[in-house]
Amino acid sequence: MVKVPVKLVTWDEIVEWTRQLAKIIKESGYKPDVVIAIARGGYVPARLICDFLGIENLLSIQSQHWTEAAKKAEKAIIKFQYKVNLEGMKALIVDDIVDTGESVILAKKYIEENWKPKELRIAAMQWISSVAKIKPDYYAIEVKEWVWFQYPWTRLEDITQFIKRIINEELREKTTKTTKEQLKQKFREWYGIDPPQDYYEDALKLLEEQGVIELQGDQILLK
């Protein structure tokens, strides 16, 4: 039984989904003057939306809830608060996904109160309708059962955290060492996917640098 269902997303899918999202926004008749990316996941989708809709103005705000892949912090926070004047302008918040929705809700509230746009709407590639506390104005895909979308821009970060979670929550209780192949098998069992080999090797090196493991050829010592 997979503990954390994961969808490994490709760059081609990102382009396809954002193109579809831009088409939905355009057909609605909404013409934003400025796009606001929710950092960090919204950067790439927001830039593509700007391209597909012909929008030059792009801002960002860091509203953060997930502090570790597939594990969330207790509450969303706005990091690096600042103010801009969007009075008289139509704005569009763009994020990669609306899962719990708390990051988007907080960003929307902050922007409305401090940046004061004329109108503000929300767009995301995916909306997990079964758990989200808010429905975006625009979305390309409705996801009815929770899954962790593993996007290309967090590939190494997520895989590193996924491996670390396996080590801390299962392996450490049972053993002091494993092999690369055995750990990879555990990865498949936990997440239902094979980690891309180059990212897998890079993740192991990062974990060694962090003092979590020690690599000895194909052997992995847990520290």
Mean pLDDT across 26-32 = 98
pLDDT in tens, 78-89: 889 999 999 999
Q: Do residue 10 and residue 112 come from a single domain? A: yes
What is the CATH number for 169?
1.10.10
Q: What is the mean pLDDT of the chain?
A: 93
On the question of pLDDT at 15 being above 60, the answer is: yes
**In terms of domains, do 49 and 85 share one?**
yes
Q: What gap in Å lies between CA 154 and CA 177, rounded to an integer?
A: 27
Is 212 inside a domain boundary? yes
pLDDT band for position 197 (cuts 50, 70, 90): very high
The model's pLDDT over 37-48, given as tens digits with 9 standing for 90+, comes to: 999 999 999 999
139 assigned to some structural domain: yes
Nearest to 106 by CA among 127, 78, 80: 78
Based on the domain organization, do 38 and 76 belong to the same domain?
A: yes
117 and 133, same structural domain?
A: yes
- Burial code (b: 16+ CB inside 10 Å, e: under 16) for 137-163 equals bbbbeebeeebbbbbebbbebbbbbbb
Q: What is the pTM of this model?
A: 0.89
pLDDT in tens, 91-112: 999 999 999 899 999 999 999 9
Same structural domain, 99 and 190: no
The residue out of 104, 120, 150 marking a domain boundary is 150
Q: Over range 153-171, report the average pLDDT.
A: 95
Predicted local confidence at residue 218, as pLDDT: 95
Answer yes or no: is pLDDT of 7 > 80.
Answer: yes
- Assigned domain for 1 exists: no
Q: What is the CATH number of the domain that holds 105?
A: 3.40.50.2020
Q: Are residues 139 and 173 in the same domain?
A: no
In this structure, the strands spanning 219-222 and 177-179 are antiparallel
**Residue 65 pLDDT > 70:** no
Identify the domain boundary among 150, 178, 197. 150
Top-confidence residue, 63 or 114: 114
Containing structural domain, residue 82:
6-150
Same domain, 23 and 105: yes
Confidence of residue 74 (pLDDT cuts 50, 70, 90): low
How much is the pLDDT for 72? 52
> Do 29 and 68 belong together in one domain?
yes
Domain end (from 150, 183, 201): 150
Q: Which of 44, 35, 57, 38 is nearest to 14 (CA)?
A: 44
Domain count, the chain: 2
Predicted local confidence at residue 159, as pLDDT: 97
Would you state the pLDDT for residue 67? 54
pLDDT of 77 above 90:
no
pLDDT at 49 over 80: yes
